[in-house]
Structure formats: structure tokens, C-alpha cells
Amino acid sequence: MAQHKVTLIPGDGIGVETSAAMQRVVEASGVDIVWDVAPAGAACVETHGTPLPRETIESVRRTKVAIKGPVATPVGTGFRSVNVALRKELDLYACLRPVQSLPGAGGRYDDVDLVIVRENSEDLYAGVEFEEGSEGARRLIELCEEEGAGSIRPDSGISIKSISVTASERIVRHAFEYALEHGRKKVTAAHKANIMKHSDGLFLRVARDVAKEYEGRVAFDERIMDACCMNLVMDPTQFDVIVFPNLYGDLASDLAAGLVGGLGLAPGANVGEEYAVFEAVHGSAPDIAGQNKANPTAQIMSAAMMLDHLGEVDAAARIRRAVCAVYAEGAHLTGDIRRASGSAGAPATCTEFTEALVAALD
Ligand code: NAD
């Protein structure tokens, strides 16, 4: 049996609990993994002087595969997001978030089966910003006036939205290649090209061009972002693979997670040409951290994606089957799912859920 080396970044808050649960299930599935545990997050600022130590990035460069828990990012001030930094450092340009109904999980629908493909490297998330009142902001405002691009109030903070041909082309191609590889029939491009002609307009133009290369193999359609949100809420079954620029993809991921039972269920992967980092969509949930209340399903399903990536498809399938069995049985559901589904009974702890899952492995 092959042995795999994987970097494990437990992260902050419930990440510590969900990572331990994920390790327990992966090990119980029989896959041989050597975990290189690496730090990142708020606690690292005190111990390492940075939320993303060099040694953590070096570990992922060595192993090429990582699974991480969520990392808290202070709102408005403090360090920039560790997630954004990691994606940049390792050029993890594609974010994949499969959204599937799990019978018994309390979703709004029981037949959702779509995949969100989110561009990960640019757009408003690139972190190119000018503070209100700064010299940079003043000069930029002046330039916009001079160029006739439009007027910006002098007391504005500015975040730049940039979308390139290079990044759009590779993410749309990634979406089509994913569709081909996974037997998916259609790729939808979501945009606001009607308003942002030079950024979203470019994304849409590139998407249409790339789509031509796949004509006859994978269908293509396009949707204005606001309509896409409404369509997702009213009838998610009309979607198969949806490709988004960065910010819309982030928002749509949580929206879509809400359709199938919430954040506790939504797995994800950040991938590039060389490296892959798997992680749940949810954050560090400080409101329930350290209380053994977290739902580890999202991280366990992220691990199943990781096992597919490592070629351990049989173990991945067994873990997915066990997750389905535990939800279908309904005796060990965590509090978030009990609330979402309105099901009676005491909520299971993270540990109880995990042990039920291990017992359900075939
Ligand atoms: P959150 O996802 O942490 O929590 C939102 C709500 O969902 C909370 O009520 C929480 O209790 C619940 N929840 C989330 N995951 C759950 C789970 N597995 N089981 C049960 N309930 C769960 O979002 P937030 O509160 O906006 O963010 C908290 C922190 O996490 C912030 O610092 C944010 O920057 C960070 N964050 C990190 C990542 C990441 O590292 N990938 C992603 C999103 C947010």
C-alpha cells in the first residue's frame, strides 16, 4: 500500500477539533498517511511573529498536498488573510467546491448536485488597496479624474478589482476540464458584465472563447450574478458546474452551502499546477470553538476530495458512503444539523459524530 505525506494545518477555533476528527476517520479508512503538522493562524502571531510561518509554506512545497482547518482573519485591521497568502504563495488558482444534498442533513433541497469553481488569484481579493486619506488614494483619484474614468469621493478607501485574460482563461479552462473528467454536462459562467464592462466583461468574453473549444462535449451558458443567486435559491438543479470570478464565487459558495444544510457540510479544494490544499468552506466559528460542538463533515468530505487527488479513490468512496449512512440514520447529528433539519433529539458532539462515522465505514 502506498504511503502518502500530507501537510496538516489545524488552524484556529474549531479547526483543531474538526482536524482531529478528520485524521481519525482517514486513519480508520486504512490509508497510510504521514502527517506533517504545521502551524498557521492567530496563535502563531505570538509564537512565530506571523500568522503564516515560512516552515508551513515549506512543508506544503515538500509534500505538495495539504489539508487545513479554518484560520481566523481580523475584520478591517491586522494581518491580511492567511488563506489569501497561501493561495498566492502556492499559486492555488482554482477553488473547487462541490455542493451535494445529503439525505437527512436538513437541506432546503434533496437533489442538489453542483460544483462551484472559483477563481482564486485576483479580483477584489488580490488585496490591492489604498487607505482613505493616503497619498496613493489621492493620486489614484486624481488619475481617474484625468483619464475621465469617473470621479471618486476624496474621503474614499479604495480596493482595486482587476481581472486578467490569463487568470480568466485558466480558471474557465479548469472548469471545462473538471467537467470532462467528472462526467459533468454543462459549465455556466457567472458575471456582472452588464455593469463592469472592463473586468467582468473581459471574464465573460474569455469564457465564451474557451467554451468554443469544448463545443459538442460540454455545454456552456452564462448568467448575470444577481440572477444566478436567485436561480440558485429557486432551482439549484438547473446548474452543473458554475465558474465564478473570485468574490462572487466566495459569496455563492456560502449561499449554495445553505441550500444543502449549512456550512458544516461544505468541502473544498484549492488547487494549482503543482500543489493542492484541501479545506472546508466554513470559518473558525469562535462562537462554538473548544466545546466539542463542531460538525466535522465539511473537513472530512474535504479529506475525501484529497484522497481522490492522492489516488485513494476506494477509501474516499467508503468515507462518503459512511457519511451518507450516518446522516440517513439520523441518530448522531451535530447541533447545526439538528437545527437546520428541525429534527428532535440531543445534538451529538463532534467526537460522537466522528465515532459513529468510523463505525459506519464498510
Ligand atoms: P464561520 O464559518 O466561522 O461561522 C458562521 C456560523 O456557522 C457560526 O454560527 C458557526 O458556529 C457556524 N459554523 C461554521 N462552521 C461550522 C461547523 N463546522 N459546525 C457547526 N457550526 C458551524 O464564519 P465567521 O463567523 O464569519 O468567521 C469566523 C472566522 O473564521 C473569521 O475570522 C473569518 O475570517 C474566518 N474564516 C476562515 C475561513 C478559512 O480559513 N477558510 C473561511 C471563512 C471564515
DSSP 282-328: S---TTTTTTT----HHHHHHHHHHHHHTT-HHHHHHHHHHHHHHHH
**What backbone phi and psi angles, to 5 degrees, belong to 184?**
-90, 150
- What pLDDT, on a 0 to 100 scale, did the predictor assign at position 321? 97
- Position 74 scores a pLDDT of 64
Report the nearest-CA residue for atom 27 of ligand 1.
283
Q: How many CB atoms lie within 10 A of CB 327?
A: 24
Contact assessment for residue 111 and residue 259, using Cβ atoms and an 8 Å cutoff? no
SS3 156: coil
| pTM check: above 0.75 | yes
216-264 confidence digits (pLDDT tens): 999 999 999 999 999 999 999 999 999 999 999 999 999 999 999 888 8
Mutate to test the pocket of ligand 1, among 83, 84, 102, 263 (most ligand atoms within 8 A of CB): 263
Query: What's residue 125's pLDDT?
Result: 87
Residues in contact with ligand 1 by the CB-under-6-Å rule are 14, 18, 70-73, 83, 263-264, 279, 282-288, 294-295, 298, 336
Supply the residues annotated as catalytic: 125, 192, 226, 250
Q: What is the pLDDT of residues 175-191, one digit of tens each?
A: 999 999 999 999 999 99
Helical spans, DSSP H, in the chain = 15-28, 42-48, 54-63, 82-89, 135-147, 165-181, 200-213, 225-234, 246-259, 297-309, 313-329, 335-341, 350-360
Residue 76: pLDDT band by 50, 70, 90 thresholds? low
> Phi/psi at 167 (nearest 5 deg)?
-70, -35
For residue 293, give the nearest of 102, 21, 106 by alpha carbon: 21
Say what the pLDDT of residue 75 is. Answer: 59
- The SS3 call for residue 158 is strand
Least confident range from 78-92, 113-127, 149-163, 208-222: namely 78-92
- What per-residue confidence (pLDDT) applies to 314? 97
